[in-house]
Structure 1
Amino acid sequence: MISLFLQYLQYEKNYSSHTVLSYRTDLYQFCDFLRTDPSEFNPTLVSQSTIQQWILSFMERGVSPRSISRKISSLKSFWRFLMKRGLVDKNPALKLVLPKTNKPLPAFYKQQEMDNVLSENNRTGGFEAVRNRMIIDLFYETGMRVSELVSLTDSSVDFDARQLRVIGKRNKERIIPLGETICQDLRVYKEIRNRVTDIKCDALFVRKNGMKMYSKAIYNIVHNEMAQFSTLKKQSPHVLRHTFATILLNNGADINAVKDLLGHSSLAATQVYTHVSFSELNKIYKQAHPRAIKKGGQI
């Protein structure tokens, strides 16, 4: 039944291979706890008490609430699937409560850091240098995910309309507007790419040998480039995505518009950035507003 559920996630829900693997890992761990082979797992024999004992074993080992919450969610989704398909008549995961997690606010790059990394002084160099800056610029100006950037092809860019067609999670398509400057930079990048590489695929971003780039290479590029200009502990494409959203909201963009640009399916996922924006505004207020400063110069 587990394999049936995983096929459902992959082919009907169009979940990414990474997400499907996470579900598989959680369910296989549960089978290990039950000392049962996943192929012989019988969900009708599982009780709520058994699941609670499994969860307790993680708590005793000091596993984070976030990780435990994900494992509970995996079991809930699995039994919901079984109930809908009529494969079981009881759901032992129904009343399980997700542990509260203190979600950290998303980190983002400062405007000056982005100005420095994308300045004209850093736009010199060979093909790889130009490509790497182009990748960072595109993340910063579109807020797209790594998987979305990797799947871009030459036809994804409409230079006349200044638009980028992105295929997001669950194969949902969205259109992101592009500025004139980044369109010009993309044209320059493509000219250099076509001149110095023997292109062997239709991907927009390629390696020097003309082959398609994958997520790990993109992560490494962003990490290495941004580490030169930022003091954040984590340097990643997702931090650039956070930066994109935070800058838009700080400059008065409508949250629903930001939601659509990010490709979020619900507003709740976007609202975390409003907390970041408020934190920044609160900091500025305390530093600059005379009524926020107590006597003696204290805030």
Structure 2
Amino acid sequence: MLGIEQFLKYLRLERNYSDQTIVSYREDLELFLLFFKKKDVQLSWETIDADVVRDWVEYMMDKGNSATSVNRRLSALRSFYRYALKRKLIERNPIYNVKGPKRQKTLPQFLKEAEMDKLIDPDMWTDDYNNVLARTIIITFYSTGIRLSELVSLEDKDINAFTNELKVTGKRDKQRIIPFGAELAETLELYKQKRDEEVDRMEKGLFLNKKGKRVSNAYVRKLVKENLARVSTLKKKSPHVLRHTFATAMLNAEAGLGSVKELLGHESISTTEVYTHTTFEQLKKVYKDAHPRA
């Protein structure tokens, strides 16, 4: 007879699953057991069919469970029935053709133009070294759209002050050249002057802390989070938000999708296309706010 306990014993002894994973599997399977017994007390693990499983999916979604949560529970059920089929405890797998709900793609979060203008306004900052460093890092993210790891690995030699170009080493050591404007050029020059006057260089990095060492990923995340909180109520306040802000600003200014792909260093155009959904959502909001019949 098919049951939860023998399956969990198999996971523990033969598959060497962790205690926490086994607890999760138990909870998921017991939830389903409770569901189908409420539906019909005569039902058993051996007699349920795909319709019962689909009803469970619908029930969970109606209760407000996320697609991720529902798919995790279905995964536990799939493992359970694969085990049962392999042991010949059932003749057919009732979950074989059941598909879980699609995960809703979350649109990239980004700062509005007015928020960025406020954030990088010189009046928002003092001339203290840490403030100059923070403002320069934020403007670099916003002006180039580079990743956190790419920014941290920058060195002075990667900046071409004559052509206003930045050489970036991205994923899998692929290099790309990113042009930048006068604002970032001026900001970088002022930062480097300040750095060379006040910091004893210990490493080659472009962005150094006051001890002369290259800034770390954690340091930059903290710096960005603290400063985005000054102008934005977004839940997420990370360097990636500034990368999203760069991409969205470029597309809103009618930059081509292919050009933005190259600037961001994406392997596939489909990765860049998510930003077109963001700009479309903006257009819908503008339409709703402006059109008298919206």
**TM-score between the two structures when normalised by the length of structure 1:** 0.67
From 64, 68, 85, the counterpart of 1:65: 68
Q: Which runs of 5+ in 2 are unaligned?
A: 1-10, 19-24, 33-64, 76-96
For 2:59, the equivalent position in structure 1 comes to none
- Structure with higher Rg: it is 2
| Aligned-pair CA distance for 1:65 | 2.2
User: CA 1:32–1:193 in 2, change beyond 3 Å: closer, same or farther?
Assistant: farther
| Aligned-pair CA distance for 1:122 | 2.3
For 1:35, the equivalent position in structure 2 comes to 15
Code of the residue aligned with 1:65 in structure 2: it is T
Q: How does 1:132-281 map to 2 (within 5 A)?
A: 132-281=134-283
For 2:122, the equivalent position in structure 1 comes to 120
Query: Secondary structure of 2:284's partner?
Result: helix
User: What per-residue deviation string (whole Å, max 9, x for no partner) do you get for residues 66-89 of structure 1?
Assistant: 8969xx9xxxxxxxxxxxxxxxxx
- 2:70 and 2:170 map into 1 onto residues whose CA distance is 25
- 1:195 and 1:68 map into 2 onto residues whose CA distance is 56
Code of the residue aligned with 1:258 in structure 2: it is V
Query: Secondary structure of 2:215's partner?
Result: coil
1:66–1:101 contact (8 Å) kept in structure 2: no
| Aligned-pair CA distance for 1:232 | 1.1
| Aligned-pair CA distance for 1:32 | 7.1
**TM-score between the two structures when normalised by the length of structure 2:** 0.68
1:107–1:239 contact (8 Å) kept in structure 2: yes
2:134–2:223 contact (8 Å) kept in structure 1: yes
| Aligned-pair CA distance for 1:34 | 5.2
Q: Percent identity?
A: 39
User: What per-residue deviation string (whole Å, max 9, x for no partner) do you get for residues 166-186 of structure 1?
Assistant: 111111111100112211110
- 1:235 and 1:218 map into 2 onto residues whose CA distance is 11
- 1:67 and 1:141 map into 2 onto residues whose CA distance is 40
1:108–1:239 contact (8 Å) kept in structure 2: yes
- 1:162 and 1:99 map into 2 onto residues whose CA distance is 47
| Aligned-pair CA distance for 1:96 | 11
- 2:192 and 2:216 map into 1 onto residues whose CA distance is 18
User: CA 1:151–1:34 in 2, change beyond 3 Å: closer, same or farther?
Assistant: farther
Code of the residue aligned with 1:293 in structure 2: it is P
Q: Which runs of 5+ in 1 are unaligned?
A: 1-30, 39-52, 73-94
RMSD value, Cα: 2.9
User: CA 1:267–1:116 in 2, change beyond 3 Å: closer, same or farther?
Assistant: same
| Aligned-pair CA distance for 1:123 | 3.9
Code of the residue aligned with 1:139 in structure 2: it is F
For 2:131, the equivalent position in structure 1 comes to 129
User: CA 1:36–1:159 in 2, change beyond 3 Å: closer, same or farther?
Assistant: same
User: CA 1:37–1:274 in 2, change beyond 3 Å: closer, same or farther?
Assistant: closer
